[in-house]
Amino acid sequence: MDQLLQHLVNTLILGGTYALLGIGLTLIFGIMNVVNFTHGALYTMGAYLMYLAVTALGLGFFLALPAAILGGLLLGAVIEFVLLRPLRGSDIDTTMLVMIGAGIVLQSGTLWIFGGVAKSVPTPFPDAPLHLGPVSVSWLRLFVLGAALALIGLTYALINRTRLGLAMRATFQDHDTAALMGVNVRLIYTATFAIGSSLAAAAGALLGPVYVVFPQMGGLAELKAFAIVILGGLGNITGAAIGGFILALAEELGAGYISSGYRDAMGFLIIIAVLVFRPTGLFARAERIG
Amino acid sequence: MRKPTLYPAMMSSLALALTLASGPARADAGASGAGPIRIGVNEPLTGPFAASGTYVVNGAKIAADEINAQGGVLGRKIELVIEDNKSNPTEAAAVAEKLITSDKTPVMMGAWGSSLTLAVMPKLADYETPMLVETSSSGKITTTGNPYVFRISPPSALEAEAFAPMVGKIGLKKVDFIVINNDWGRGAAADFTKMLKDKGVAVGLVETMDQGAQDMSAQLSKLKGSDADTIMITAAVDQLTLLFKQMSALGLKKRIITTGGSQNPDQIIAQAGGAADGTLHLTTFLPWYPDRTPNPKATTYFIEEWKKRGFQFAGVTESFRGYDGIRTIAQAIAKAGSTEAAQIKAAFWAVDFTGLNGQIRFAKSGPAGRESGQSKPDVYLIRIESGRVVMPEL
């Protein structure tokens, strides 16, 4: 029982950051239809920006976090502006190849600049964990959960409650009509990619201090982000948020009670099941076609 | 269309070119002739083991420079042909093939990880080219009958054997394992389990983690609930750091012993801080106490040279293997009096000198007629105490 409780607490904390990763990618992959292979690299970038802001700039942990997220936003905007804007209208394979190349450049760039030795980000939180009966959780992880939930809420509000969000939804529903209604479509594409990227960077900046920061940390994170997006249904933000928690639960319970060797396979088993039984994702609503 | 139509094609070919980019083509100097003698080095310079592989390569360069400063081998300089196996077994095999067929290296060193080395081994037999194995510790490497393999790192069974006399003194009762899910980790769990059971110590859970995994809370929560007094861990330094931090976050307090020789204790101290206090580690090199190593003079020279080149001290527990590996290969070439693969392979059996972690001398291992070479290095137990490395008196 104690073990189950601990697994559930772990799930909650892991799920928060998985949800962030998933929402960021679903904006780009699901809504913009760009198979974004830079998502993992942006996660890594967020962690390195956090590391730089805390150690080299001496910004302090709580200021470094928004700085890293802002860095991710800018980097995302640059990637969209330089690589994706000229490719709009070309087929999905071309875009995908370019994004694979960009991902490799970003990953090798971090390896080149920072070297392969992992870095650790100092945090202001105490080493001793918080004990809640039989369950222990570190203060840092609690903060990560809180910050992740806040960012998810913010993104949700941005998409559903602001004019920018309205313009985004309009653009991806019908690009031409939105343009005719006076929406600056090119700006919306850049903004969407930048926001999606900043969420990946946020996940990296939050998890970097929890784990260690190294150039390849984004690889597995990216695969999991794709898993979450498929789980929740392409472009479905609520689905991606819930998908993040479901993936975390499957990994925790799978590793805890079935076999830890297959921990990272659990998520992909779920995806296969989802694709077989509910190809549009777990949370797809009935949709009118035509 | 106002959009330049060539752009997409250009971008995709750029992406492809980046993916396929390989090392520069080299003029074919061959194994014979008057040019430098080429030694292939097959190490992970990118991917999860990038840090360790880079350390080994830097150690190898120190050995090559030292040998060349003393006049080289057979009157010729040696040249390291260094290739990145990307921490990926498929790449490691491809790198070996490239080194042998395109660079014509008559002997190689590699490939850090056990899974990487095992992937290379069939190529050694195909091309009849010997390889010095500097780091890998899976038992399979020297027991499957590949006569082209010469290993200076201890297999897990040797490590377990060296640890056996300490088991009673530490007072182990029941041990759980958490190991990296590959040939190295699973091999270590199997060999240590066998030794512990022979000693009457109970073995409980054997948990595994993926080589790129960062969150082991699930496995650790399970270990926390077990009744074992000790957890033995086999993983490289980055995952060890994560494990110690996550154990402390979960309030998991048990005796910890790590194996495998890729712990880099100084990096653990720097990154895990207090979470690493009290942990025990089986290592194969003692850079903290050069006077207690088998060859204090060589150890001191190596550490001085390492520092002079501006590398982090934490790396020496990995890089000394690259240094000893190249020195072993150089001695084999000198004893062979030839740069032919077959002669070098035969001469490995005559190598005999004191390396940084013990006598390097190959004993036969594996099925008769097809034996691999296995040297027997020293194994030490160290403890991290208040951010320092100490040797517990046992």
Residue B343 in domain: yes
B392 close to B383: Cβ distance less than 8 angstroms: yes
Query: Same structural domain for residues B162 and B279?
Result: yes
**Cα(B81)–Cα(B28) distance, integer angstroms:** 12
The domain boundary, picked from B283, B313, B337, lies at B283
Q: Residue B194 is inside which H or E element, if any?
A: helix B183-198
Rounded Cα distance between B171 and A134, Å, is 28
Q: Is B253 a member of any domain?
A: yes
DSSP, res A138: -
Q: Within a domain: residue B118?
A: yes
- A216–B250 C-beta distance less than 8 A: no
Q: How far is CA A196 from CA A8, A39, B294, B368, in A?
A: 28, 9, 56, 61
Whichever domain contains B139, its CATH number is 3.40.50.2300
Q: What is the distance in angstroms between the CA of the first residue and the CA of the last residue of chain A?
A: 51
Three-class DSSP category at A156: helix
Could you tell me if B179 and B257 lie in one domain? yes
Report the percentage of chain B scoring pLDDT > 70: 92
- Alpha-carbon torsion angle A224, A282, A253, B194, nearest 10: -60
Mean pLDDT of B311-330: 94
Q: Do B238 and A3 touch (CB under 8 A)?
A: no
Query: Which of these three, B283, B305, B335, is where a domain ends?
Result: B283
Question: Do you find a cis peptide bond into B276, omega within 30 degrees of 0?
Answer: no
Checking if the pLDDT of B185 tops 90, the result is yes
Which structure tokens are listed for B342? Answer: 């077959």
Dihedral angle at the C-alpha atoms of A216, A56, A149, A136, nearest 10 degrees? 80
Shortest Cα–Cα distance, B359 to chain A (Å): 30
- How far apart are the C-alpha atoms of B260 and B156, rounded to whole Å? 7
Please write the tens of the pLDDT for every residue from B275-302: 899 999 999 999 999 999 999 999 999 9
pLDDT, average across residues B239-246? 91
Q: How many structural domains is chain B composed of?
A: 2
* pLDDT tier at B206, thresholds 50, 70, 90: very high
B304: tokens are: 């001085």
CB B86 within 8 A of CB B46: yes
* Average pLDDT estimate for B167-188: 92
The residues pairing with B79 across neighbouring beta strands, listed in sequence order, are B38
Shared domain check, B148 and B68: yes
For residues B239 and B305, membership in a common domain is answered with no
Residues B39 and B145 in one domain: yes
Q: What is the mean pLDDT of chain B?
A: 89
- Name the residue facing B8 among A94, A111, A140 (closest C-beta): A94
The confidence band for B319, taking pLDDT boundaries of 50, 70 and 90, is very high
Structural domain includes residue B92: yes
Q: Position of tokens 């520092």?
A: B307
B311 in the same domain as B254? no
Question: Are B224 and B262 within one domain?
Answer: yes
B280 Cβ under 8 Å from any chain A Cβ: no
Q: Are residues B114 and B164 in the same domain?
A: no
Residue A28 is given by DSSP the state I
The alpha carbon of residue B148 is apart from the nearest alpha carbon of chain A, in Å, by: 31
B20 found inside a domain? no
For A128-155, letters b (16+ CB in 10 Å) and e give ebeeeeebbbbbbbbbbbebbeebbeeb
**Span B244-251, mean pLDDT?**
89
Among B residues 161-200, those touching chain A with beta carbons less than 8 Å apart: 178, 181
- pTM of the complete model: 0.80
pLDDT tens across A199-225, in order?
999 999 999 998 889 888 888 889 899
- pLDDT for A289: 52
**Among chain B residues, CA nearest to A103:** B15
Query: What residues make up the domain containing B135?
Result: 29-154+296-374
Same structural domain, B114 and B163: no
DSSP state of A128: S
Asked if A247 and A20 touch (Cβ cutoff 8 Å), the reply is no
A129 at the B interface (CB within 8 A)?
A: yes
Q: Alpha-carbon Rg of chain A, whole angstroms?
A: 19
Same domain, B303 and B278: no
Question: Helix and strand tally (H, E) in chain A?
Answer: 11, 2
Nearest Cα residue to B113 out of B143, B93, B129, B128: B93
Give the CATH fold of the A2-277 domain.
ABC transporter involved in vitamin B12 uptake, BtuC (1.10.3470)
Question: What are the residue boundaries of the structural domains of chain A, listed by start?
Answer: 2-277
Residue showing tokens 């038992």? B139
Asked if residue B1 has pLDDT above 90, the reply is no
B300, B256: one domain? no
Q: Please name the residue that has the structure tokens 């190593």.
A: B293
Q: Which of B224, B252, B283 is the last residue of a domain?
A: B283
Cis ω on the peptide bond leading into residue B347 (within 30° of 0)? no
Q: Return the structure tokens found at B339.
A: 């740069």
Which residues, other chains included, contact A215 with Cβ-Cβ below 8 Å and sequence gap of 6+? A44, A107, A108, A110, A111, A114, A116, B46, B50
Question: Does the structure show a pLDDT above 70 at B360?
Answer: yes
Q: How far apart are CA B17 and CA B223, in angstroms?
A: 47
Residues A241, B138: Cα–Cα separation, whole Å: 42
Alpha-carbon span A122 to A208, nearest angstrom: 10
Q: If DSSP codes are grouped into helix, strand and coil, which group holds residue B92?
A: helix
Q: Mark whether B188 and B162 lie in a shared domain.
A: yes
Residue B250: per-residue pLDDT:
86
Q: Among B61, B54, B95, which Cα is nearest to B78's?
A: B61
Q: In this structure, how many other beta carbons lie within 10 angstroms of the beta carbon of residue B350?
A: 13
Q: Is A122 on the interface with B (CB under 8 A)?
A: no
B243: chain A residues, CB-CB within 8 Å? none
Q: How far is A219 from chain B (nearest CA, A)?
A: 9
What SS3 state is found at A127? Answer: coil
